[in-house]
Structures are given as C-alpha cells and as structure tokens.
Amino acid sequence: MESGGGCCGGGKKSKQTNNQNQMGLRTQNNLGITDPFARSRPQKSNSSQSSVIEAKVVLLGDSGVGKSSIAQRFCRGIFSDTHDVTIGGAYLQQTITLNNNTNAQSQQAVQESSQVKMHIWDTGGSEKFRSMVSLYYKDAAAAIICYDVSDEKSFNSVFYWINEMLNNNNNDSDNFVMALCGNKADLDAALKKISFQNASDVAKKHNMILAECSAKTGEGVQQMFKKIAEKIVLLKKMENGQQ
C-alpha cells in the first residue's frame, strides 16, 4: 500500500488487491460496492441485527506513515515489513462490538447500538496520487489522519490533510469524527521527534481524538478505533434527536 519506512509502513499492492480495487474504485465483491461513495453517513443496517451502525472511515496522511499497516493490524491482526505504495485506495472492513464499559457521555448510546461496522478506505499519500484520494472524502463518517512520530514532515502535513477533509467532505464538520494518529510509537524515545504534547495541542484545536499507536506491535490500535466507534454512535444518536 504505501511505502512504510522505519518500523512500519503501508499495505501491499497484490494481484488480488488490483482485482478488487482497480485504481481504488472497486471493493470486495461480497459487499456489492462499486465506488467509494457507496457507504455514506452512519446508518443502521437493514439486516436483522438492527443495532449495527455502518460507517465509512478514511485513513489519510503522507506516504510512508503506516496507514496501510494500521488498517491491516486493525482488520486482520497482521503486520508486514514488506510493502508497496498504495495507488488510489484499498478497502477493508471490520466490525467493533462495544460493551457498556464506556465513559458516561457515550454509555446510553452504546447500550442501544452495540456494533459499528467500519468500511475502511486506506488511501495513498503520495503527492502524485492526491487528486485520486479526494474521491474518498465524500460522506465519510470518520477520518483518521496519520503521521509518523519520527518524521516532522509527516506531522507538518497533518494540517494539509485536516483542511482537505474539512473542505471536501460533504458532511457538516460537527457530524463526523476526526482522529489524529501518531504511528510507530514503539520506536525508542531518542528517535521520536513529535512530542505527545505537540500532537495534543493540534488535536484539541481541531476537536480530534488523539492516539499514539504502533501498527508493528498493535499497541493502541484497537483502542483508537474503539474511541472512534463510540463517537460515531454518539453522533448518530444526537443526529436522531435521541440524546
């Protein structure tokens, strides 16, 4: 997917991926989705499990920060040091089951909607593919903006990706979730160039969930997606005037 560098990178562009995601515009056949716009705002499933909320989530950030590895770790529980660059986008999905051990603000919403099925779009961060990435912003319920804790340039680019998401997503900014993810948290402290405080300042300014994680070890990955799922559920309930 994107070239990783350091301890983790993106996913890999296999023949199977090419067949399922031709230039990022096709997805896995079992969903019957043919473009990145098909999964829009959070919505309850039409299946018998009416408590399942479906939501489109996009991963954004510069090439090499490890977006693909984060997606692979979350959805498949795997990590690989061998990666190619993501062209356009790749599709994965994962369902989170939320229990009632949540903060007071979101507990009621979680009790009534215990599952969030995430339709995850892992986008390419290379500059030459950025015009394609904009296709994936539409109707996103959440965006995870990633940077490499050992790479100042990738952190500086966070502001570009925030503006891209705010300017191109057709949902109101109050109705979708943004998270700031510092990847490669497993690196030695001497190699880290972005302090947690610096990241926290950016996250607070833009009302973002903040997480430092490691796609390589799995540290913090599940916790980040869980926080995103909880906020998606809460916003859905507020949108329906139920909380």
Express each pLDDT in 3-53 by its tens digit.
444 444 444 444 444 333 333 333 333 333 334 444 445 665 554 444 789
d(CA 140, CA 121): 10
Q: Which residue has the higher pLDDT, 182 or 133?
A: 182
d(CA 66, CA 166): 22
Helical pair 221-239 and 67-76, crossing angle rounded to 10 deg: 80
Architecture, CATH, for domain 15-239: 3-Layer(aba) Sandwich (3.40)
Identify each DSSP E strand in the chain by its residue range: 43-44, 52-60, 89-97, 115-123, 142-148, 177-183, 209-212
What would the mean pLDDT of 89-118 be, rounded to a whole number? Answer: 70
Domain ranges of the chain: 15-239
Identify each DSSP E strand in 88-188 by its residue range: 89-97, 115-123, 142-148, 177-183
Looking up tokens 């980040």, which residue turns up?
A: 224
Report the range of poorest mean pLDDT among 20-29, 59-68, 89-98, 157-166: 20-29
What would the mean pLDDT of 90-108 be, rounded to a whole number? Answer: 71
